Every structure is written in structure tokens, then in C-alpha cells.
Amino acid sequence: MSGDGQKKAMTKSSRKRRPAVTVIESILILVFSFSVVFLGINYFFDVKSEKKMEDIRSRVKVSRLQFEEIEIPEEEKEKNRGKKEKRLEEALEEAAGAQGNIREYSPDEVLPIYRQMHEENENFAGWLYVDGTNLEYPIMHGPDNKFYLSHDMDGAYDKYGMLILDEKCNIGYDCPQLIIYGHNVNSGKLFGELLFYKEEAYCNYHPEICFDTLYGRGTYTVFAAFTTTVAEAEKDGKMFSNMNFTDKKTYDDFVAWAKSRSMYARDCTPVFGQEILSLVTCEHSDEDGRFIVFAAKEGALQKGEGKQQ
């Protein structure tokens, strides 16, 4: 074949292939454009979500300054300390015969710090935070355990949702166990930071978790942390079912179960009557994996117990 013939053949071949290349290029451009738009939309909602949360945190900080920086005379502080200790003793005594409802609170007893937020949204139930960390969030208590996992405090859609108090818990009463759920977000938002409690050193550095309900501020000491699955927990008959501890044996069995599963030993054991705070999030190494941190409300803790086998 002559040189001119080869050129003509190549030209025809190129013309035949060009439409195919154009289609592939068009598809790639569309995919790239879609990806950019998708990432842009996600970024927009992430920024919007974070801004909302920062606004809420700022409001709480301002409220704390307003209601906590008031100078209280020493004699009044001493009087309040006495009341606090007396109330703890009474709660421990009454717990022996309690069915999970030691006393009912009234709307007038809502803490001034959180009163406005609760008036704006009756599903606002409290504030969870760990000093020195980014774990600092409002807690929602809706009609079920689903809505606020995909909606923000205003009820708008939010892919990360909020931290929620189990629907069966009632902060209007002294509840023996409070269970809080939240998404495990890779960026560290919500309960993404909770997984740091897998490390004993982290727990030793941050052993206390604070949870303020609408009616009182509370500090809880971590006594166990471990991974499990929903199926395992339900089979054990402990987690997700024990909201009330009707007697000392039920309570002690629950504590022993949690400590026996713990990833590391904690030198403290809750005593019957102490409220238990359970924080639950997803653990992605298993399809229905969960990571749980258990903590007991401040008060008498048995020291030197270590990990129960």
C-alpha cells in the first residue's frame, strides 16, 4: 500500500474511533462534575451543621457565664454542699425499694442554664461533655430512637443527626440508667471521639464524663468500656434492656457483666443506688458492632475492685 493510501486509511480509522472517544470523555466529565457537585453539597451541609452546633455551644457558654459567675457567699456554698450530700444519701437509701422512679421533677425545676433551649424545643434533654475534648453536645429525647439520628435540633435533615437519650429513659424522674446513642463519625464529630476510650491511657486522662440533665448537673466516672454486637448484648440480656434495677442483685449483676467485658481494668465499682450512664455508638469492625462506655454518677465508689472475672 502506498503512503497516500496508508494516510487515507488512518484518517478514516481515526474518524471512526473519534465518536467513541468523545462519548467516554463526556461520561468522565459528567462523573467528575457530579462528584464535584456532590462533594460541594456535602461540604455545604457539613459547614452548615457545624455552624449550628457552634452557635448552640456559644449559647450554652454565655448561659453558664450568666448563671454561674455570680459570687456565692462561703456559708451558702457550705449549705449547698450539705444539701447535695444529704440528697445523695437519701437517693441511695430509697433506691433499694425503687422501681426506677425515685421522684418526679416539675417544669419549674429546669436549670436556668438550659431553660431557654428547652422552651424552644421540648425535646432538648440536656448537655453531654468531657472536659478537655471536643465531645460537647446537646442531648435530644424524641418520641423514638430514630428521628434525631438524622435530624438536627431544629428538626431539619442532618446526615449526622444528634446525640439522643433512649426513648425509654425519662429524665423527669431519677432514672437508674441513662443510655445515650450517637453516630460514630470519622471526622470525630458526635461519638466519633468516644472510640478514644478504647485506650486505657485515654480513659485514665479523661476518667470523668459530665452529663447535665434539665434538672441537675452530674459527673460520672468510667468503670467499663468494650465492643460488642447488638445480637450479643441482647443474648446476654443486659444492655438495651435494663433501664430499671429493681433490686441490688440485678444492679450488681449488671455491673459485674460490664466490668467482666471491659477492655481494661478500672479501679472502681458502682454501688447499688448510683445512676449509670451508658454511651453507645457504632463499631465498624462488625456489621452490627457497638462500642459502649459505662460510667457511674459521682458518689461512693468501691475502690480496689479492679476488673471482675
Picking from 19, 49, 68, the residue at the C-terminal end of a domain is 68
Strand, helix or coil for residue 105: coil
Cα atoms in the 13 Å half-sphere on the side-chain side of 243: 15
- What would the pLDDT profile of 115-126 be if each residue is shown by its tens digit? 889 888 999 999
pLDDT of residue 175: 74
Q: What's the mean pLDDT when you consider all of the chain?
A: 76
Number of domains in the chain: 2
Q: 189 pLDDT band (50/70/90 cuts)?
A: confident
Does residue 148 share a domain with residue 15? no
Does residue 176 share a domain with residue 281? yes
- What would the pLDDT profile of 242-263 be if each residue is shown by its tens digit? 567 778 898 998 999 999 999 9
Does residue 153 share a domain with residue 298? yes
Q: What is the DSSP string of 114-164?
A: HHHHHHH-TTEEEEEE-TTSS-EEEEE--SSSSGGGSB-TTS-B-SS--EE
Nearest by Cα to 178 from 193, 192, 199, 163: 163
Domain of residue 293 covers 71-303
- What's the CA gap between 270 and 297, in Å, rounded? 8
pLDDT of residue 158: 87
- What would the pLDDT profile of 194-236 be if each residue is shown by its tens digit? 999 999 999 999 999 999 999 888 999 999 999 998 788 777 7
pLDDT of residue 301: 62
Question: Is 308 a domain residue?
Answer: no
Picking from 18, 34, 68, the residue at the C-terminal end of a domain is 68
Quickly count: other Cβ atoms within 10 Å of residue 244's Cβ: 15
Question: Is 252 a domain residue?
Answer: yes
**Mean pLDDT for the stretch of residues 21-41:** 60
